[in-house]
Amino acid sequence: MDNIAGSKSSLTWAVHISVGLLVLLWLFPTVGLFVSSFRTADQITGSGWWASLGEVEQNIVLRTADPDDFRVERDGRYFVEGSLFADGVEAKISVWGTSSRAIAKYKPGDTADLKHGETIIVDATGKYVWSGPDKKMKGRGQRVFVTARTPPDFTVANYDNMLFDEENSEGIAKAFFNTLTVTIPATIIPIVIAAFAAFALAWMEFPGRSLLIAIVVGLLVVPLQLALIPLLKVHLGIGIGKGYLGAWLAHTGFGLPLAIYLLRNYMVSLPRDIIENARVDGATDFVIFIRIILPLSFPALASFAIFQFLWTWNDLLVAKVFLIDATGDTTVMTNHIVELLGTRGGNWEILATAAFVSIAVPLLVFFLMQRYLVRGLLAGSVK
């Protein structure tokens, strides 16, 4: 009975487990970015996102208050008192220090000797007493390196900084519309060209058709990185230069092989009787293409549109090569995020937040068209 057609396989459980593991593998980094986007910079650098739901022990660099503003005189000495942590933050310090080379030199309650007769005492809750002569206690507050267990600290300040800060929000808005300016034409142009080419390769008889199909398949394996600089030289030679037009043509060229291959396989699988009946009725190839092939090929068109849109939206390499970044007028989202991080790779909380701001549009496109994705990918695989 196990071999009867239509019976349920005994390995169904293995398939379900495999699919579940694949989903978790893809979901794990996404959840990590989402959680990190609501964490402070200190917590991101001090612990992984999975530890964010409980107390976390981390090394933090804090500062006391400025002596010029909070100095108080008592018995011939001057004191600056306060808490290293912000109001409402409950933390427990295990060790602390005043130098980056000895961050665990003192325990809570110990007295650290500073230069010029100054001392500082830090207790387990972060309260400190910094004292010294008047003339020596000037400038910024004293740095204190602490190892402390801190409670979860989630904040929307990262999103507020990205979306509502006047300087950052203006840059994000410009980069957002620049990315749309690049992505929408770079998605539509290859679809239009590939649809005509795929129809010709699927249903029109002409010399060299098989050779053209082989060339299209061969172009699928051409590395993008090898063709960028030669293509840029061609653009500069014919007067296109750097700009939106160059980026559109580059994305079109690199996306056409996959588009033609995918659409041609789908169109070949369409019923031949429909096309032949249309030709008997006097329909031209153009009429057949517009009124029959295109409506029936919508799943394949939508499938490629998803891939092309996601690839173009998340692209950084082509934008770096074919767009002018000196003025910032054509900066796209990916490049703007890199600029926010700085040359030293800091501000990881901005990276996590910017990632979710950037993927909002691709997620919307995917969920609107995902029902056509599998149908388009499987097109032509079975007869």
Lowest mean pLDDT among 10-19, 99-108, 118-127: 10-19
- Domains in the chain, ordered, with CATH? 12-50 (no CATH), 55-151 (no CATH), 160-377 (1.10.3720.10)
pLDDT in tens, 282-302: 888 888 888 888 888 888 888
pLDDT value at 2 more than 60: no
Question: Are 183 and 362 in contact, with CB atoms under 8 Å apart?
Answer: no
Which H or E element spans position 321? Answer: helix 317-322
pLDDT value at 188 more than 90: yes
152 or 295: which leads in pLDDT: 295
pLDDT value at 376 more than 80: no
pLDDT value at 383 more than 50: no
d(CA 42, CA 382): 54
- State residue 183's pLDDT score: 93
Which residues, 6 or more positions from 34, have their beta carbon under 8 angstroms from its beta carbon?
352, 356
What is the token pair recorded at 70? 């909070």
Question: Are 194 and 261 in contact, with CB atoms under 8 Å apart?
Answer: no
Q: Residue 169's pLDDT band (boundaries 50, 70, 90)?
A: low
Q: Residue 380's pLDDT band (boundaries 50, 70, 90)?
A: very low
What percentage of the chain has pLDDT greater than the value 70?
Answer: 86
Query: Whose CA is closest to 124, among 98, 93, 145, 149?
Result: 93
pLDDT value at 52 more than 50: yes
For 99, list phi and psi in degrees, rounded to 5.
Answer: -135, 145
d(CA 77, CA 116): 13
CB atoms within 10 A of CB 191: 19
Mean pLDDT, range 18-31, rounded to an integer: 86
207 or 356: which leads in pLDDT: 207
371 or 6: which leads in pLDDT: 371
| Beta strands across the sheet bearing 127-132 | 72-74, 77-83, 127-132, 119-122, 111-113
- State residue 382's pLDDT score: 46
